[in-house]
Structure 1
Amino acid sequence: MNKLKITGKELRQLGYPEGPVISITMNLMQKHYKYESKENALAILRTVLQAPSDFVSDAVLAPVAQQLLPPPPKETAGMAVSLNQTGIGFNVFGSAYIEEGAMAQMYTAAKLPVSVAGALMPDAHQGYGLPIGGVLATKNAVIPYGVGVDIGCRMCLSIFDIDPKELTNREHYFVREINEATLFGSGAQFQKAENHAVMDHEAFQHLPFLKELHGRAWKQLGSSGSGNHFVEFGIVEIPAHDEVLQVPPGLYLGLLSHSGSRALGAAIATHYTKIAISKRRLPQDAKNLAWLNLDEEEGQEYWLAMNLAGDYASACHHIIHAKIARQLGRKPVKMVENHHNFAWKELLEGQELVVHRKGATPAGRDVLGIIPGSMTAAGFIVKGKGSAAAVNSASHGAGRKMSRSRALQSITDADLKKELSKHGVKLISAGLDEAPFAYKDIEVVMKSQQTLVDVIGKFTPKIVKMAGDKIKKWQEKE
């Protein structure tokens, strides 16, 4: 078998920047992936480039990820801040299925001087700063990496009064509608920009930093991104009447999407994290939890920019759903949606706090939300119970049990093809790192949060599209 050889030219074509990362990546791939196919190796490197924060703790790929992350500012300015000796107490849901890295990150966050309350959701796994699935309430402070890079990442479900058997009878039609409604990929842009009121948001004019991002944001409006983002058709089952959902019991056709604020959110997160780190010098293991006070100019700027990114993410979903609704010739009987990767001002025990939900669903009393499974596992329409123990939160999905690099190395096309066939799912495109095997069992996750939400509906995916063309290629060979 020929040994793998990755060239600098190939890395640059992927989008890797000039600098030490090129030689570091070439040497690392030659050492650790020398018997990997070039196609799989480039797929791994593409995934690292799209989400370097997912690989900062990877046993092999961490050096590459560190080079791709924005460099921290020099720690010559700002105030040195010590962590508290003991952290605030926080509840953990589904602790048996949460990795040590996520627990360690949550314990660190609990020791911040601004922390007041917290919780860890059953889908939690290690992230960057606050763990994914981490909920943290702070006093008068917002943590950019407590919100995350993909600000306002969102679930959106349109429920149509259409017989779901149509998904089988007219599969090619629904595949075409997904393909024509949006674009996937980290750099994807439309040639003709959509019109939406969000592009007139005051923040674009008030903050010079955002004004420079306006043009690209407009071209990406209505696109879907990469990684675990998706658009899919499926079967919605409403078992009984619910006073909040207000959808009669029965089977419906559903359109479910998951994506965030694209390059706009990432730029905001990077910009204000640098400022936060420069203003508050925390110990090394906590530096990515640096915060901005809401009574200082930078904190007010970030809050404005974060809310813009949330509105932008919402607009992206609404554009996709409106396009498809027009083609279907129907208005949805109900739309259910929710943010995660966001911060809200909420009253907890009589005081206003900033509640960060990084990969966690708002679950205040009677608040509706969507918790998806995987490309073959059902997702759920839920209604929050307002659990103070969980800071009014729930999981945002099943959660990863396998890193992206491990998934790419251990899951084969044949494995995925068999699983898709077993569940009757048409996969238009995706990467193997998003295969169902890489995720926790959504049924176990839901059992771990029975005190947090009531399940009032079910969504079973049938036609799925994500970023990546690998699956599309092998389907065309059939």
Structure 2
Amino acid sequence: MNITGKTLIEMGFTSGKWFPEAIEYINTNQLKDEALHSYLEQFRPGPVQHLKKQPAPFHMNIKAENELEESNVNSVVASMETLMKTPTLVEGAIMPDACPTGPNGTIPVGGVAVAKNAIHPGMHSADICCSVMLTDFGKADPKKVLDAAHQNTHFGPGGRDRNTQFRFPSALLKDFEGNYFLNNEKMIQAARAHLGTQGDGNHFLFVGKSKKTGNTMMVTHHGSRGPGANLYTRGMKIAERFRKELSPETLKQNAWIPFDTEEGQSYWEALQIIRKWTKTNHEVIHNATLNALLVEAEDRYWNEHNFVFKDNDLFYHAKGATPLDPKFMPDITGPRLIPLNMSEPVLIVNGETTNSNLGFAPHGAGRNMSRTQHRKSKTGTTQEIFIEETKGLDIRFFSNEIDITELPSAYKNAKTVRNQMGEFGLGTVIDEVLPYGCIMAGDWQKNAPWRKKKRRRK
């Protein structure tokens, strides 16, 4: 009976580059029993990796300018200090839009963590490849662009029904089917149904005019939806298996997959396929809007701001940080995009890598308080708050329910973020997309089916 990789894993070994050579040697020499165990002993994992006594260095590209910001920055720093004790991490950085998320030791939004030869699924989170794309519509009427986009996008939970789904590219389907992490029915069904959808939360479709040219521009913001969330779940399970073996002291959210294992290679490949899917997700919405208006794009570019970027044996985990350095984006075709909030311009930036920015800029305005805190801080009716904060703008919620936690006051002061970008050398603004209006999911849970059912029972 021949030994396979599955046999070795069942015997308690973690897959690695040594698997093929070892399997061939074992089967050629028909090793079994004591001879087999004696041969395999050389591949037993090394000593357990302990947390660092002192955190690896991280760069502060942020400063507090009032009491609320001070509390936020202190929380971010405390979390980074714990995070950077993870054995694989060698360097990090915090951006001006940083805010804490999750328990202490979790990478903050606006954080960059550099790991050696390791991929940490928890550091890119479930919203893999959250990204922004811009299309230049020339002199098209911004209202017509927003109207056409409203008819062609999709916000909220779930995907499109069969009648409204976009065609799934055959090459992309082949990629999914060829990857261990992505080749299952649930993943592929989600990839089909979620193509052309934007989700909820802070994801948006924004229309405005270039400050430089006056052209109308559309910007979309969303991630990899169901396929990305499913990959994240599978990645975290694999990482947890390695954590128990390699570094039980490491926090569960910071577990990693060693890159030089079979799982590491396959997971990295899966991330690149999810990146392709997400870019396609943007493109189908933009192209459908162009086609509806019978307009040709004058320009288009995009960038992710929530991903893992590789440079030799270093893996840059950017949790809400915009890559400035071209080495992180092999398909770069233009400058980078940094949205702030619905009432502020989307910044179009270029920039250089410095010792303190590690090749990244902020990804947006961030938050100084939670959604719950923000709701409690507001007075007046939802409609009154909405009218006050969106004067002169065409703001729409796909669910027809206003979400006040996505209004401008929910975010950090945009001027502060821009000033600190300049102060810390985090990119140069070369143009701005001045706001006309935007679409967001809104408070879709307010009239969710389960809520309606609950009301009827009452």
TM over 0.5: same fold? yes
How far 1:314 moved relative to its partner? 0.6
Equivalent-residue separation in structure 2 for 1:89 and 1:130 (angstroms): 14
Task: Tell me if the contact between 2:179 and 2:266 (Cα under 8 Å) persists in the aligned partners.
Answer: no
Superposition RMSD in Å: 2.5
Match of 1:287 among 234, 243, 252: 252
The 8 Å contact of residues 186 and 262 in structure 1, kept in 2 or not, is answered as no
SS at match of 1:226: coil
- Equivalent position of 1:131 in the other structure: 108
TM-score relative to the length of structure 2 = 0.76
| Partner of residue 183, structure 2 | 210
CA distance in 2, matches of 1:310, 1:332: 22
1:357 aligns with 2:327: no
Residue by residue, what CA displacement relative to the aligned partner does 1:170-202 show, whole Å, maximum 9, x if unpaired? Answer: x3x444312211110122324233224363242
Equivalent residue for 1:90, pick from 43, 47, 58: 58
Q: Who is 1:273 aligned against?
A: 236
Separation of aligned partners in 2, 1:152 and 1:84: 29
What letter matches 2:79 in structure 1? Q
For the Cα contact (< 8 Å) 1:427–1:471, is it kept in 2? no
Which residues of 2 match residues 240-389 of structure 1 at below 5 A? Answer: 250-281=213-244, 286-346=251-311, 352-364=313-325, 368-389=335-356
**Quick one: structure 1 residues 285 and 376, their matched pair in 2 at CA, closer, same or farther if it must change by over 3 Å?**
farther
Judged with a 3 Å threshold, the aligned counterparts in structure 2 of structure 1 residues 201 and 123 are, in CA distance, closer, same or farther, namely: farther
Whole-angstrom CA distance in 1 between matches of 2:390 and 2:262: 51
Is structure 2 residue 400 aligned with structure 1 residue 437?
no
Deviation of 1:340 (Å): 1.6
SS at match of 1:426: strand
Distance 1:471 1:334, change over 3 A: farther
Distance, in Å, in 1 between the alignment partners of 2:387 and 2:113 is 39
1:55 corresponds in structure 2 to: none
**Structure 1: runs of 5 or more not aligned:** 1-76, 239-249, 474-478
Q: Secondary structure at the match of 1:388?
A: coil
Deviation at 1:414, TM superposition (A): 1.0
Match of 1:140 among 117, 123, 127: 117
State whether residues 340 and 362 of structure 1, in contact with CA within 8 Å, keep that contact through their aligned partners in structure 2. yes
Letter in structure 1 aligned against 2:77: M
- Call closer, same or farther: CA 1:293–1:471 in 2, change over 3 Å: closer
After superposition, the C-alpha distances for 1:354-373 in whole angstroms (9 at most, x for unaligned) are: 11111000011697210001
Query: Does 2:393 correspond to 1:392?
Result: no
Structure 1 pair 442/79, CA: closer, same or farther in 2 (3 Å)?
A: farther
C-alpha contact (below 8 Å) 1:130/1:146 kept by paired residues: yes
Q: Secondary structure at the match of 2:311?
A: strand
Give the AA of the match of 2:217.
Answer: G
User: What amino acid sits opposite 2:266 in the alignment?
Assistant: E
Contact 2:166 2:195 (C-alpha < 8 Å) held by counterparts: yes
- Ranges in structure 2 where 5+ consecutive residues have no aligned partner: 1-44, 327-331, 448-458
The AA in structure 1 aligned to 2:406 is E
Q: Distance in 2 between matches of 1:254 and 1:344?
A: 28
TM-score between both structures, scaled by the size of structure 1: 0.73
Looking at structure 1, the residues matched to 414 and 46 of structure 2 have their Cα atoms a distance apart, in angstroms, of: 43
Q: What is the rounded CA distance, in whole Å, between the counterparts of 1:424 and 1:466 in structure 2?
A: 13
**1:83 aligned partner, one-letter code:** L
Misfit runs of 4+, over 6 Å: 470-473
Q: 1:225-249: CA deviations, max 9, x gaps?
A: 11100112111212xxxxxxxxxxx
Matched, 1:182 2:153: yes
Q: Is the 8 A contact 1:157 1:336 kept in 2?
A: yes
3-state DSSP class of the match of 1:273? helix
Question: Which residue of 385, 391, 403 maps to 1:415?
Answer: 385
Q: CA deviation at 1:100?
A: 2.6
Q: Give me the whole-angstrom Cα distance separating, in 2, the residues matched to 1:259 and 1:436.
A: 18
Change (3 A) 1:277 1:104: farther
Answer with 90-99 or 189-198: which moved more. Answer: 189-198
Bigger Rg, structure 1 or 2: 2
Is contact 1:362–1:384 with CA below 8 Å preserved after alignment? no
| Residues 439-454 of structure 1 mapped to structure 2, 5 A cutoff | 439-450=411-422, 451-454=425-428
C-alpha distance after superposition, 1:309-337 (max 9, x if no partner): 11111111000110111122222221121
Distance 1:304 1:375 in 2: 35
Q: Which residue number in structure 1 is paired with residue 173 of structure 2?
A: 200
- After superposition, what is the alpha-carbon deviation per residue over 1:389-423, rounded to whole angstroms, capped at 9, x for unaligned? 111001000111221222333333311211111x4
The correspondence of residues 42-81 of structure 1 with structure 2, limited to 5 A, is: 81=49
**Alpha-carbon shift at residue 455 of structure 1 (Å):** 0.4
CA distance in 2, matches of 1:262, 1:211: 16
Q: Does 1:154 align with 2:131?
A: yes
Shift of 1:468: 2.3
- When residues 78 and 381 of structure 1 are mapped into structure 2, their CA distance, relative to the original with a 3 A threshold, is same
Distance in 2, matches of 1:297 and 1:95, equals 42
Q: Matched residues in 2 for 1:309 and 1:419: separation? A: 36
Instruction: Check the 8 A contact 1:160/1:252 in 2, yes or no.
Output: yes
CA distance in structure 1 between the aligned counterparts of 2:298 and 2:430, rounded to whole angstroms = 16
Shift in Å, 1:131: 1.1
What displacement does 1:387 show?
Answer: 1.9
